[in-house]
Amino acid sequence: MSKRVFNQIKDLVTEKRNPDTFDIDTKSTLQILKLINKEDKKVALAVEKELPHIAKAVDLIVDALKNKGRLFYIGAGTSGRLGVLDAAECPPTFGTPPGMIRGIIAGGRRTLVRSKEGVEDDFEAGGKDLEKNKISKKDVVVGMTASRRTPYVLGALEKAKKVGAKTIFIFCNPISRHKIRASQLKTKVDVAISPILGPEVITGSTRMKAGSAQKMILNMLTTASMIKLGKVYQNLMVDLQAKSEKLVERSKRIIMMTTGVDYKEAEKYLERAGGKVKTALVMILANMDKKTAEKRLKDAEGFVAKAIDYQE
């Protein structure tokens, strides 16, 4: 069994030695940091090449969420933690219901703060964890693994396909010299996203460049999806949940920047709108009461700009 895994990983780009960092252990602190920074600069360029595939993934996610589906991130180790993090940040930032975007990590919640080796090797566990969340054909599952071979993630993707859910696979190793296509994967997926980053600074430490690339991609997936779902007006997060002092004050500032009212007026309208920035904006910019503003927003599918200019 160990030989099989050895053969799987020996030729992976993420497991190769980086020729530019062979002597990193002899460098000064500043030289070490320069080497790390030099490699990090490659991440955004690698992600840029995957933008057409990321765009397809966003469209799948938007379609699912519009039709009462959910978005699942599933991964092991660093990949799993990044998925849980992105999912956790969506409700306060975009006002999404807690169950709409979910992160699942191999080994469960405890592995978020303490690594548990071996859980990523359980192929069946990935599918079972999706079953626990009542995965359905309405949903989208994003599997994440730097290596592309993690059994836990592949098992989850296979389960998702069986129930008819859309599947997105993020990994950081090429399958061949040719352009990567989903059809080349053993597990057939709807969209494959594969930024090729080269060897890590420290061989096999995929929490570095591979982790950074995955974080950037997840930021794109949810941010672009939320924009297309009407949760952003201009470049402002107008669907945020004002449940802390900072977010309440940010809400007032958004209203002030957008409408030109002063602090007291922004506070007054935010209170009248029940703490909802979108409603307050429509009330001010379209000169209407709360009830009418809420109806306008509903008719405009949540888009502030459309609600302001809405024609009966």
Give the phi and the psi of residue 272 in degrees, each rounded to 5: -65, -30
**Structure tokens given for 281:** 């904006």
Give the phi and the psi of residue 134 in degrees, each rounded to 5: 55, 50
CA geometry: angle at 128 spanning 124 and 130, to 5°? 125
Q: Are 271 and 290 in contact (CB under 8 A)?
A: no
b/e 12-35 (16+ beta carbons within 10 angstroms → b): bbbbeebeebeeeeeeeeeeeeeb
Note the helical H segments in the chain. Answer: 2-9, 29-48, 51-66, 77-94, 123-132, 151-163, 209-228, 245-259, 263-272, 277-285, 290-299, 304-308
What are the C-alpha distances in Å from 40 to residues 37, 170, 199, 214, 292? Answer: 5, 18, 11, 13, 50
The alpha carbons of the chain give a radius of gyration, in whole angstroms, of: 22
Task: Kindly name the residue from 39, 50, 120, 294 that is annotated as catalytic.
Answer: 120
Question: Could you write out the DSSP letters of every residue in 213-227?
Answer: HHHHHHHHHHHHHHH
Residue with tokens 């997926």: 189
**Structure tokens given for 64:** 């699912």
Instruction: Check if 120 is active-site.
Output: yes
Instruction: Check if 89 is active-site.
Output: yes
Beta carbons within 8 Å of 4's beta carbon, 6+ residues apart: none
3-state class (DSSP) for residue 228 = helix
Task: Kindly name the residue from 15, 48, 50, 89 that is annotated as catalytic.
Answer: 89
What are the C-alpha distances in Å from 162 to residues 75, 98, 135, 136, 191? Answer: 18, 25, 10, 10, 16
Residues identified as active-site: 89, 120
